Amino acid sequence: KELDHLKAQFMANVTHELKTPLVAIRGYVESIYEGCFGPLTDKQRSGLEIALRNVDRLQKLIEELLDFERLEAGEQAMTFSDFDLAPLVESALDALRPQILQKRLVVQNRLPASLALHGDREQIGRVLLNLLSNDVKFCEDGKVIGVDAKMSDEDEASLITVWDRGPGIPPEVQQQLFN
């Protein structure tokens, strides 16, 4: 119990120490983006937009660490709501757009026009982003990645598949995936 308490304290300190400089970075980047330090070229503005998206991403990761600690401590429950899957997939792809373009990946979405889900939107979004991020990271330049989704007729469940045409997971690693 003492070790768990120390770990929780450490996580709280680390996340606080990470949040503080990110607030300052965001403030300066936003000020530059808004032209407070002079006019910007389109290329500079684009670079600052990428920086802001990555600051958002780091802030989300920090929040995920905090959420994980709260879940582990039994202090936070999942939040269930109804939502449409398509905007969530688009949001995850938008976060990865620079890497997708850099690697010239082709994205195929085979999603219905609307797929209503009931679940924890934030957690499902995190899983999608994580899986798509792995696709982008490990897929070779010019290959295809995609997201398929459909509603099961039998049990009213949704099946969401994130896939790629990359090299795959080596068999020796597959055996350890869910340990």
> What are the tens digits of pLDDT across the range 107-120?
998 898 888 899 99
pLDDT at 37: 93
Q: Which of 151, 149, 91, 154 is nearest to 125 (CA)?
A: 91
Partner residues linked to 151 by β-bridges: 158
Average model confidence (pLDDT) across the chain:
87
**What average pLDDT score do residues 104-131 get?**
90
Residue 121 token pair: 């939107």
The pLDDT of 37-46, averaged and rounded, is 94
Evaluate if residue 76 carries a pLDDT over 70. Answer: no
For residue 130, give every residue at least 6 positions away whose Cβ sits within 8 Å of its Cβ, in sequence order, or none: none
Looking at residue 157, what is its pLDDT? Answer: 83
- 132 in Cβ contact with 96 (< 8 Å): yes
| 40-64 b/e (C-beta count within 10 Å ≥ 16 → b) | eeeeeeeebeebeeebeebebebee
Please determine, for residue 75, whether its predicted confidence score (pLDDT) is greater than 80: no
In 30-168, DSSP assigns E strands to: 81-84, 106-110, 116-119, 144-151, 158-164
